[in-house]
Structure 1
Amino acid sequence: MIVHDKTLLQNKYLREEAKALQDAGFISEEHYSNIKKDLADFKSNQNWFLRVAFLLLGSFLYSSICGFIALSILQVTGEHFEVLFFVFALIGLAGTEFFARQNYFGHGLDDAFIIGFQICLAATIGIYTSGNEFLIAIVVTTSAAFCYLRYLHRSMLLLACVAATASIFYGILNLGTEIAIILPFVSMVFALLLFLLWNKKLQHTSTFYKFDLNLIRYYSYLLFYLSGNYLVVRELSVVLLQQAINHGQDIPFAWFFYIFTFIIPVGYIYQALQQKNKIILWLGFAALAFSIYSIRFYYALLPLELALTFGGLFLFGVTLVLIKKLQNQTTGITFKPDRFSNSTPFQAAEIIVSTQVGGTQSNQQTTDSPVEFGGGGYSGGGASGEF
């Protein structure tokens, strides 16, 4: 199923592991350079600026090919342009296959064609079904899953998850307003099924797919929280279900969504601390901040200025207490830097603070004795012969 060369795929993941070890200080830069020389790699761009630049270049190439084909087809079919988007989708798929067989992986040119394929395919289904959202979502889910399984394009895995969620949403909405009221609970169940699929089957696979499947886990976490967030449920009830919520009224099961909005972020943070998973930890903090915003969106107990001030003081106090408590721990939950994470911002901050402290001390010494360097008056290399 995978079109890419298996040896190059294995080399790619070995190089990534070696890079992580080099960043953590377990192997030297010279050792990492030797590993890179010994392992052949795909034609790819690790620099995101270059990748975006080649994505734009690939988009121009893709549109140029489509434009030429369109002019040729319109001369034959006249004004029947409905078939054009299907042809454009085939061009995108053919271009993706070509670049994959030429060992392009995450280069930018291949990104343009695989994304163009999905857009043109969705447009084709929309034209022939008069904009049926449910059918569009079903087709995009299938095509995105196929593209991920064949080309290992991580964005296609995310697109498949989002499109599958949209399929469930539109499928429930098509059943009528009476059934659509259970949409948040159906979405929660779908998120749980995604997590169970990852936990029971996907994370234990020994194929090349296992390197990207954590995306399904984190997507299920995010979807589960948003499915029960009070603000999301209430606003979607107004927009999708056309429910008029007057002053003094509330949505059905409002008490459940109030509790859910705050319990789930706390649960995420607790689980992240237990498993030492920083992604879930940041997700939990982001969800907690959005929960506070969700309630404040409807019930503003304090003016915005006071709320931000008290919130900042509270966070500062909690952070200070945690730093004091964890700074000397070397195991478990600790404030020590993670050798496998990019600590460049912390290193930069440390350098800035050290420079400021050192600069202040240097200025004070210069003020007291501006020319006392050594026996000769210029850095110690003078008549006394001492340094």
Structure 2
Amino acid sequence: MKKAYNQIWVENLRVQRQAAEWKFRNLLTEEQEAQVKELFPEKFYRPGIFVKIGLFCFAVVAASFFVSFLTLFLFDTGSDTSFSALSLICCACFIVALEHLIKTKNLFHSGVDNALLYAAITAAMVPVFLLFDHAPLWGYCLIALAVIVPATLRYADLLGPIAIFGLIFTIMAELMMKFPLGKALLPFAVMILSGVIYTLARKSKDTYYHECRRIFEVLALVTFYLGGNYLVVRELNALISGLTVSVAPQIAFAPLFYFFTLVIPLSYVFFGLKKSDRVLFIIGLVAFAFSVYTYKHYFGILTASQGLVLAGIVMIATAIALIKYLHTPKHGISDEQNRKNSLENLQSVIAAQQLGVTPADQGLEFGGGTFGGGGAGEAY
């Protein structure tokens, strides 16, 4: 699908952000950073966060007034059909305004374009709920996917991946909950679907969807772990079964979920270090902490205060030991900040820009382990 924002400017913006990060780490001088901005220009309007919030609120109010004006003076909204027609007209108007502002004002996720996109999607979904009020939940989700997926592909909005992810899992859960076997296999289905989404997201190399891909990866890693976590599966199984007991009953395949609860976080940490993937590493640490809580919840013999004190002592001792051990880099891992990376990646990109060739080393790729946003290079 054709993209709404200037693809070249999006790529240049990412190069500028990478250069700014290297400047912060004293890998570039101010003159070199200025040269990067000159070689990779972009003309997007990108206000600060507070201005962006203000513009978003203003656009929402303006869209509401527009809908109210049409409702009061031009349309008779006494029936669902007429109100649905009004919603579709408003959706078309919002899309036209959005496209016009992007082309003329060079907006790039600046608040106004986000608000108009959300207003257009909402207006497109209103007729679905009005005209098909007895449709199953998975039907609404499918229609929502048919609207949100194209919008995300064109505008790369950051809420799009979250909505798509939630809708896909809602459809799966809604269909599997209709059968007893589906309820039993739901945790495994969650893990399989999460793995598929993570694999597909990792294959995407388009800079235009870089942030969307990051969101998909994070959500997939989290749901993959939660789908195999013993506490989550046991408590949700009791909730699905309608049990109101104080202690949830034991679940089938309990040893397997004990195994998942321990192994998945350790795997995240291991591969996060091996691949220099900071996101995978951090999620692994958080998941491991939740795994500790899971085992303590059912098998803990210490009080809460005793557990916190013991955990704090272990964490501090482990941190001190690792800092001392990694003071000299070992296996490509170090406790020092990443300041040893060369400028080969940026130089290859600049050379490609000047000579019109594509660099062989895609050093700016996320998660590749050379330097990109997923982690560090030789010193992590």
TM-score range, shorter chain: 0.7 to 0.9
1:139 partnered with 2:140: no
CA 282–10 in structure 1, closer or farther in 2 if over 3 Å, else same: closer
Structure 1 alignment gaps of length 5 or more = 342-387
Distance in structure 1 (CA, Å) of the matches to 2:126 and 2:305: 46
Aligned to 2:46: 44
Aligned to 1:19: 20
User: 1:327 touches 1:334 (CA, 8 Å); kept in 2?
Assistant: yes
1:197-208 → structure 2 map (5 Å cutoff): 197-199=200-202, 201-203=203-205, 208=208
Distance in structure 1 (CA, Å) of the matches to 2:232 and 2:130: 30
Q: Deviations over 1:150-206 (max 9, x none)?
A: 112233133222222222122222x3334222111111111121233234x424xx5
Q: Deviations over 1:72-98 (max 9, x none)?
A: 35x523254752555554444444333
Q: Deviations over 1:44-63 (max 9, x none)?
A: 23x33332232222222222
Aligned to 1:105: 108
> 213-222 or 309-318: which moved more?
213-222
CA 198–78 in structure 1, closer or farther in 2 if over 3 Å, else same: closer
CA 100–180 in structure 1, closer or farther in 2 if over 3 Å, else same: farther
User: 1:272 touches 1:281 (CA, 8 Å); kept in 2?
Assistant: yes
Letter in 1 for 2:55: F
Letter in 2 for 1:66: V
Aligned to 1:126: 129
User: 1:3 touches 1:151 (CA, 8 Å); kept in 2?
Assistant: yes
Distance in structure 1 (CA, Å) of the matches to 2:323 and 2:296: 29
User: 1:59 touches 1:112 (CA, 8 Å); kept in 2?
Assistant: yes
Distance in structure 2 (CA, Å) of the matches to 1:179 and 1:271: 31
Aligned residue among 163, 166, 172 for 2:167: 163
Distance in structure 1 (CA, Å) of the matches to 2:124 and 2:299: 44
User: 1:177 touches 1:241 (CA, 8 Å); kept in 2?
Assistant: no
TM-aligned CA deviation for residue 108 of structure 1: 1.0
Aligned residue for 1:232, secondary structure, equals helix
CA 247–77 in structure 1, closer or farther in 2 if over 3 Å, else same: closer
Aligned to 2:306: 306
Distance in structure 1 (CA, Å) of the matches to 2:168 and 2:336: 40
TM-aligned CA deviation for residue 211 of structure 1: 6.1
User: 1:66 touches 1:91 (CA, 8 Å); kept in 2?
Assistant: no
CA 144–78 in structure 1, closer or farther in 2 if over 3 Å, else same: closer
Q: How many residues align?
A: 335
1:77-92 → structure 2 map (5 Å cutoff): 77-80=77-80, 82-83=83-84, 85-92=87-94
TM-aligned CA deviation for residue 40 of structure 1: 3.1
Pick 1 or 2: higher relative contact order, CA cutoff 8 A, min separation 6: 2
> 49-58 or 144-153: which moved more?
49-58
TM-aligned CA deviation for residue 223 of structure 1: 1.7
TM-aligned CA deviation for residue 121 of structure 1: 4.0
TM-aligned CA deviation for residue 318 of structure 1: 0.6
Distance in structure 2 (CA, Å) of the matches to 1:248 and 1:54: 48
Aligned to 1:381: none
Q: Deviations over 1:190-232 (max 9, x none)?
A: 1121233234x424xx563356434333332122111111222
User: 2:149 touches 2:160 (CA, 8 Å); kept in 1?
Assistant: yes
CA 235–338 in structure 1, closer or farther in 2 if over 3 Å, else same: same
Aligned residue for 2:284, secondary structure, equals helix
CA 20–248 in structure 1, closer or farther in 2 if over 3 Å, else same: closer
Distance in structure 1 (CA, Å) of the matches to 2:190 and 2:155: 28
TM-aligned CA deviation for residue 12 of structure 1: 2.1
Identity %: 21
Distance in structure 2 (CA, Å) of the matches to 1:288 and 1:106: 35
CA 77–155 in structure 1, closer or farther in 2 if over 3 Å, else same: closer
Distance in structure 1 (CA, Å) of the matches to 2:310 and 2:214: 37
User: Larger Rg: 1 or 2?
Assistant: 1
Aligned residue among 172, 193, 197 for 2:196: 193
TM-aligned CA deviation for residue 309 of structure 1: 0.7
Aligned residue for 1:76, secondary structure, equals coil
1:171-250 → structure 2 map (5 Å cutoff): 171-173=175-177, 175-199=178-202, 201-203=203-205, 208-209=208-209, 212-243=212-243, 249-250=249-250
Distance in structure 2 (CA, Å) of the matches to 1:109 and 1:190: 34
User: 1:185 touches 1:227 (CA, 8 Å); kept in 2?
Assistant: yes
Aligned residue among 137, 152, 158 for 1:148: 152
Q: CA RMSD in A?
A: 2.8
Letter in 2 for 1:97: E
Distance in structure 2 (CA, Å) of the matches to 1:310 and 1:14: 45
User: 1:141 touches 1:161 (CA, 8 Å); kept in 2?
Assistant: no
Distance in structure 2 (CA, Å) of the matches to 1:338 and 1:48: 28
Aligned to 2:9: 8
Letter in 2 for 1:99: L
User: 1:137 touches 1:166 (CA, 8 Å); kept in 2?
Assistant: yes
